[in-house]
Amino acid sequence: MVFAPDTLVYPDTDGQPMADNTEQFRWIVYLKEGLEWLFAGDPDVFVAADLLWYPVEGNPQLCQAPDTMVAFGRPEGKRGSYRQWLEANVAPQVVFEVLSPGNTVPEMTRKFQFYQRFGVEEYYIYDPEGGTLDGFVREGGWLSGIEAMAGWVSPRLGVRFGLDERGGLRLWRPDGTPFESYGEIAVRAEQERQRTEQERQRAEAAEQRAEQEQQRAEAAERQAQSQSSRAELERQRAEQAEAQAQRLAERLRALGIDPES
């Protein structure tokens, strides 16, 4: 029986788990979330993890689910699968595979052939258990192995690749900012929160000190005004006493009495 293309079913799942273990899952999330963060400001870059990619209409059996893939020129958004003929026939340009102990050589060979055949421009394979990173870039129509991945900069992504001393995958954005796991982001956010809280407390303490200084200055000013008022009162009393003495002296002189004798 021959099925028309519009009656074929393209499943949204191949029945396989996203990851075989927690380590593989952690690195898939690290890649997918880091790449989404990298292109968060670009609505025409689609990033996905464990999404079935159907390159040819009419052949649901021909598909692959890269651990992480990036398609430039395609809008971000929800998809059940990536059907290339519905995506302006744009193939994902960059794909990542994170190995697990369950991956076999024949399986990885088939994946390589699939990506080679359907136009992937960059293909990266990370083995968390072995602490190794391999990459391939399309040259002259073929995916050719990258001689040294340490310090390699992806032509499409602009990210720099490396491994730490324990074989952990490390990627850096074009501005040098490292990709971070959710845990690392959470720790940094908590540190920033604590620093902000400390700055707030210091600002409040400084404001309280300033208020206290202002209150002391106002009290000193009131005291100075009070002292000035008392001095003015004493001056007025002294003037009144002097005026009184002069009047008395004048009366005595009028009576023929010398007030100074």
CATH number of the structural domain spanning residue 154 = 3.90.1570.20
Least confident of 46-55, 79-88, 193-202: 193-202
- β-partners of residue 145 are 136
pLDDT single digits (tens) 194-213:
988 999 999 998 999 989 99
Partner residues linked to 172 by β-bridges: 160, 178
Measured distance CA(105)–CA(111) in Å, rounded: 10
CA–CA separation, 176 and 96 (whole Å): 21
Q: What's the rounded Cα separation, in Å, for the pair 156 and 119?
A: 14
Same domain as 192, residue 169: no
Check whether residue 22 and residue 150 sit in a common domain: yes
Query: Residues 37, 115: one domain?
Result: yes
- pLDDT given at position 39: 96
Q: With a cut of 80, say whether residue 214 has pLDDT above it.
A: yes
Last residue of a domain, one of 125, 155, 179: 179
Task: Say yes or no to pLDDT of 1 above 60.
Answer: no
Give, in degrees to the nearest 5, the angle at Cα 38 between 37 and 41: 85
d(CA 56, CA 60): 8
> What pLDDT score does 56 carry?
97
Residues 155 and 187 in one domain: no
Tokens of 72: 């430039």
In angstroms, the CA 230 to CA 58 distance is 104
Question: Could you give the number of structural domains in the chain?
Answer: 2
What pLDDT does residue 103 have?
Answer: 86
Per DSSP, helices labelled H in the chain are 22-38, 105-117, 182-254
pLDDT at residue 230 tops 90: no
Residue 3 binned pLDDT confidence (cut-offs 50, 70, 90): very low
**Residue 102 shares a structural domain with residue 203:** no
111 and 82 within one domain: yes
* Alpha carbon distance 141, 53 (integer Å): 20
Q: Are residues 137 and 63 in the same domain?
A: yes
Give me the phi and psi of 132, to 5 degrees please.
-120, 150
153 pLDDT higher than 50: yes
Question: Are 146 and 80 members of one domain?
Answer: yes
State the CB neighbour count (10 A cutoff) for residue 87.
Answer: 18
DSSP label at residue 147: S
Of 148, 179, 210, the residue that ends a domain is 179
Query: What percent of the chain is predicted at pLDDT more than 70?
Result: 97
Last residue of a domain, one of 179, 213, 241: 179
Number of CB atoms found within 10 A of residue 39's CB: 16
Same domain, 198 and 260: yes
Range in 90-99, 119-128, 214-223 with the lowest mean pLDDT: 214-223
Same domain, 248 and 133: no
CA angle, residues 71, 48, 15, in degrees to nearest 5 = 125
Q: pLDDT digits over 138-149, tens only? A: 998 899 999 999
The angle formed by the CA atoms of residues 133, 134 and 135, to the nearest 5 degrees, is 130
Domain that holds residue 153: 5-179
**What whole-number percentage of the chain has pLDDT above 90?**
63
Model pLDDT, residue 25: 93
Q: Are residues 99 and 208 in the same domain?
A: no
Contact 136, 144 (CB under 8 A): yes
CA dist., res. 25 & res. 212, Å (int): 57
Task: Give yes or no: residues 89 and 114 share one domain.
Answer: yes
Q: Going by C-beta distance under 8 Å and a sequence separation of 6 or more, which residues neighbour residue 130?
A: 99, 167
> How many helices (H) and strands (E) in the chain?
3, 10
